[in-house]
Structure 1
Amino acid sequence: MADATGVTNDYASVLGISEGMVALESGWDEDCDSAISESIESVLGEDFLEEESDELVDAVVMWWRDEDGDLVDGLVDALRPLSEGGRIWLLTPGAGKQGTIAPGEISESAQLAGLVQTKAERLGDWQGSCLVGRGAMKK
């Protein structure tokens, strides 16, 4: 779907998130694009799980900026609730934006956390990197 400016905002579809999936959102703050979160929750038909939930999830939507700390630690934390075959969508500020993270740092951190980047998508002012466990690539 497109808004009045013709910009596509069907972010859930771009991220491969569909009805019936369970998702958790972490790192959301005032600088995040609420349209991305709202698009996903609209497709899920319910709110994101809380970060403290012990339920397994199909997807983790992880907002991350350069100043948020060690990305490897953040990714390891995001893996804990992830079900087998699930994915982490790492959302970082786009190039030239405050808090942006170099693509090399994302792939290196993902590797150290036992993840592989499968694709990248531009989501408004944010860059999305899809990360899956190394074993998920063999299926």
Structure 2
Amino acid sequence: MTTHLEDYARKLGIQPGQVALELGWDEDSDPEISEAIEEVLGEDFLDEETDDLCDAVVLWWREEDGDLVDGLVDAVRPLGDNGRVWLLTPGTGQPGTVAPGEISESAQLAGLVQTKAERLGQWQGSCLVPRGNTKK
């Protein structure tokens, strides 16, 4: 039986032994999502200043955080060959919600393609991969 914490990591495709980086975490972020990922990884997220490549970047983003294209370009830099960015935005009706059209347009401008969307508690997750790498 999986707990809802393990379910968060499963929905994000996080596997034991992978390496992940978390960007944009703030007091409104859901710590259960972060904890679930770290529990499955078996270690903490990489430090934001690392030069290591990672399998996944978890990017928390709210409407007021600035230019989403810039945020996505920064999130792509540490990705390994088959890496993906999980863009986590407040769900519909929550403060800071980002319009779906803005997500798809920003992803395209940053060279990314959305492959999947998941609801994670009060947050909406969009799986973004570099164009040409459409594996989930």
Structure 2 residue 120 is matched with structure 1 residue 123: yes
Which residue number in structure 1 is paired with residue 109 of structure 2? 112
**2:81 equivalent among 80, 84, 87:** 84
CA distance in 1, matches of 2:17, 2:41: 6
Q: Unaligned stretches of 5+ in structure 1?
A: 3-7
Measure how far apart 1:113 and its partner are: 0.2
Which residue number in structure 2 is paired with residue 38 of structure 1? 35
Provide runs of 4+ in structure 1 moved above 2 Å.
Answer: none
Measure how far apart 1:137 and its partner are: 2.2
TM-score in terms of structure 2 length: 0.95
CA distance in 2, matches of 1:18, 1:137: 18
**1:134 equivalent among 128, 131, 134:** 131
Measure how far apart 1:85 and its partner are: 1.3
Which amino acid in structure 1 is aligned with residue 66 of structure 2?
G
What pairs with 1:23-102 in structure 2 (closer than 5 Å)?
23-102=20-99
RMSD (Å), alpha carbons: 1.0
Q: How many residues align?
A: 133
Which amino acid in structure 1 is aligned with residue 99 of structure 2?
A
CA distance in 2, matches of 1:116, 1:28: 23
Q: Unaligned stretches of 5+ in structure 2?
A: none
Measure how far apart 1:97 and its partner are: 0.3
